[in-house]
Structure 1
């Protein structure tokens, strides 16, 4: 029966067995539960999915508030670029550690429902502190707010993924992850294109631009975090209700973290780490500084600069699920990663050394950014055993955040001293490091007979041969 299959997907039963008991009807015995109210049926889970997707909307919307208001933040708070980039560095610092602890806190300390609400509260509190710092013209307080915001931001993403596994483990899970990623990119895109308008409206109301207008604008942006907190509360209620009706237990994150596993990591995994850090430090800090770059070099208006600076996120929203499906069907992950890194290097070189229309380079950067995420992160599962996956992904995210924190501050200093051309050369050098690591990974994988660059069909045959009893 379809209801039984849907209940199996919801429960995520590894043995494929589902209780023969029908869901309890809260309105009384003998009355069939409507599809919208029955947690084992698809219509109800679609409602849950809507709240699940909006759970991280506020976090992603506010993460890039500084990028959307780069000119205003620097002018109103009387900063140089190096100080401005501290807003991104202070977000990343807590996540150097919390990438290891977030899953543990959700599994063993708070539980998924309370943990999600707590991390949402951190996001809200952090954004409010940032806004108060701007209102009171205290930049150090804005940095404190970004630190608090960072405590909740990354861990909230872990909680969002855990909810997805709890409710959609089965054939819908990949689609759900794609929809969540698209919603995250939508939040970033809306922020990039609306916050400048919000600031201008607030400045007109208060009489003039300044730190007061900036603080009020950031406080208004915090409304998206409050909205996401309300989604966390609704999700907690719906998950508790489903647990009671279906007699199910909430699953954990599945992230088993053992730092002693680090010494056993194979050489290909360390190359993947180098690729990750070398690539992402040339993308996110660039977006954080991109608005003024497009204004100064290409004479764009602030609105046009914000629009083109959001192209990477606009493209990523629809492209990530499509490219992920393509990589799944074709395989050859290393080749795709090499294409993505090479395309990103070309994009940065176009921005640095030519005056071509920057929409070309930014569109190329958006596609390559989406492609790399689809091809790089799954490779971790191919080179480490399952019991080390939590540690490997935690370590990968940790060093990524460490790299982003350091490079964010370094990029601001380079821009203050040398200018945008030298900064773009620096980003090209970072991507070159990633490209060298990709080439090394290709040859190491070839010499070791690894499966990172196998076709999808060859990889399936290999898994079938090594696990003849698996389905």
Structure 2
């Protein structure tokens, strides 16, 4: 009763400070326990990562323009993606620690948003100054904030919505991230063309102005981080709740205890994603050169993977939750992606078919693969396992991005597509090995949802 009375007094005080209007009018939008206030917080959470995802693929959306204006080879161009990934090889382990122990979630979110914003400005300034090294530096700074900001976004979601539609919130955040990537792919080329017409010339200055305009999305996300931090601090004071934490406990000594099945999951993760993100990074020119698409058409088809992922990820996640059979779904996703790359490499069929299939399989794999980590390691090792998985994923992306650029410069797109098919085949072999290894261990990873629930219930009864 005392706690409830104290909360009411605090809320009354907030209402008086905000203009003294009727408490009923203020309570719905200002009371952290009410849904109108939570919806405002949810909107801020969703837009928190919008600038990050919008600007991450700026190089892809402007591939032709960047290579032309900066006089780059494809290998040099892919450095812009590699240098984003390098800091995240380490920060996957340190990001959660910095948020929990050093900065706190609110200050940490603002700091990582600043890194994203400053990195994008440096990236644009490098184009304005016609200095490629400065653009690379900007991408490195941008990468320092990018991945850790996603961790902060998830932490806020758990703090505000745990037990109250959390899966829906995660789905909405993912959809907004994909929306940012999609808008970038379809808008940046048009912005560049508009500026070129206004200046009646192209060149690094036009590119720099275009990228500087894109940085406005990062500034907007930084404003969201500031407002969200204020609202979270206010809710903490009013509701007397504890400050939220990431829940990530990283112990590198746990790595030596990882089971063989987890290492196979790591191989699937790296083998699959290195055939997706570098391909999208290089996709615009591929569709222009092979299928004679215009720049606008190439950007549109290159973004279809993200467009499909926005609505498909929550729906496919629900399907996987209801059915189980995670290894079967992963195998299906890998096979569909392999078929997509082979169609793009060896046929002249309408590429929309292959890209739509790739969008569905990309969403399906994410829903089926990442949850399997929780099935093969103990709860106290989850933070380490996920951190290590993200770390080697970023290491693979950095190395393969540079390799893809070199292959394209020396051998062309056909050989590059064969290379991506080889990467998918490595993931396919790992999936097959995981299936048989899991079968020897009892087949828990590929159980249906009902069978897995029964097994967990029996295990709990046995332990009791």
Same fold (TM over 0.5): yes
Give the whole-Å Cα distance in 2 for the aligned partners of 1:238 and 1:282.
Answer: 40
Give the whole-Å Cα distance in 1 for the aligned partners of 2:4 and 2:279.
Answer: 55
2:191 pairs with 1:203:
no
2:407 pairs with 1:419:
no
Structure 2 residue ranges without an equivalent (≥5): none
2:264 pairs with 1:276:
no
Which one of the candidate residues 450, 459, 464 is aligned to 2:457? 464
Give the whole-Å Cα distance in 1 for the aligned partners of 2:4 and 2:370.
Answer: 38
Shift of 1:205: 1.7
Moved more, 121-130 or 446-455: 446-455
Shift of 1:34: 1.7
Query: Residue in 1 aligned with 2:353?
Result: 360
Give the whole-Å Cα distance in 1 for the aligned partners of 2:458 and 2:249.
Answer: 27
Shift of 1:319: 0.2
Shift of 1:20: 4.8
Query: Residue in 2 aligned with 1:294?
Result: 287
2:169 pairs with 1:176:
yes
Query: Residue in 2 aligned with 1:379?
Result: 372
Q: Which has the higher helix share?
A: 2
Query: Residue in 1 aligned with 2:182?
Result: 189
2:1 pairs with 1:41:
no
Query: Residue in 1 aligned with 2:141?
Result: 148
Which one of the candidate residues 233, 243, 249 is aligned to 1:250? 243
Q: Is the 8 A contact 2:15 2:27 kept in 1?
A: no
Give the whole-Å Cα distance in 2 for the aligned partners of 1:19 and 1:304.
Answer: 60
Shift of 1:467: 2.3
2:440 pairs with 1:452:
no
DSSP 3-state at the match of 2:249:
coil
Give the whole-Å Cα distance in 2 for the aligned partners of 1:394 and 1:410.
Answer: 24
Moved more, 169-178 or 182-191: 169-178
Shift of 1:42: 1.2
Give the whole-Å Cα distance in 2 for the aligned partners of 1:333 and 1:171.
Answer: 26
DSSP 3-state at the match of 1:413:
helix
Shift of 1:31: 4.7
DSSP 3-state at the match of 2:349:
coil
Query: Residue in 1 aligned with 2:336?
Result: 343
TM-score using structure 2 length? 0.96
**Residue correspondence of structure 1 range 423-438 to structure 2 within 5 A:** 423-438=416-431
Query: Residue in 2 aligned with 1:4?
Result: none
2:57 pairs with 1:64:
yes
Shift of 1:27: 2.6
2:130 pairs with 1:137:
yes
Give the whole-Å Cα distance in 1 for the aligned partners of 2:72 and 2:23.
Answer: 65
Q: Is the 8 A contact 2:64 2:285 kept in 1?
A: yes
TM-score using structure 1 length? 0.94
DSSP 3-state at the match of 2:445:
coil
Could you say if the C-alpha distance between residues 70 and 19 of structure 1 is closer, same or farther in structure 2, counting changes exceeding 3 Å? same
Shift of 1:250: 1.6
**Divergent runs of 4+, >3 A:** 18-23, 28-33
Query: Residue in 1 aligned with 2:299?
Result: 306
Deviations 1:75-124 (Å, cap 9, x if unpaired)?
00000000000000000000000000000000000000000000000000
2:121 pairs with 1:128:
yes
Which one of the candidate residues 391, 396, 402 is aligned to 1:398? 391
Query: Residue in 2 aligned with 1:216?
Result: 209
Structure 1 residue ranges without an equivalent (≥5): 1-17
Give the whole-Å Cα distance in 1 for the aligned partners of 2:429 and 2:204.
Answer: 44
Give the whole-Å Cα distance in 2 for the aligned partners of 1:156 and 1:19.
Answer: 34
Moved more, 22-31 or 451-460: 22-31
**Residue correspondence of structure 1 range 295-334 to structure 2 within 5 A:** 295-334=288-327
Moved more, 359-368 or 34-43: 34-43
Which one of the candidate residues 115, 119, 125 is aligned to 2:108? 115
DSSP 3-state at the match of 1:170:
coil
Which one of the candidate residues 215, 219, 222 is aligned to 1:226? 219
2:223 pairs with 1:235:
no
Query: Residue in 1 aligned with 2:15?
Result: 27
Give the whole-Å Cα distance in 1 for the aligned partners of 2:445 and 2:338.
Answer: 23
Query: Residue in 1 aligned with 2:69?
Result: 76
Could you say if the C-alpha distance between residues 383 and 109 of structure 1 is closer, same or farther in structure 2, counting changes exceeding 3 Å? same
DSSP 3-state at the match of 1:175:
helix
Shift of 1:321: 0.2
2:406 pairs with 1:407:
no
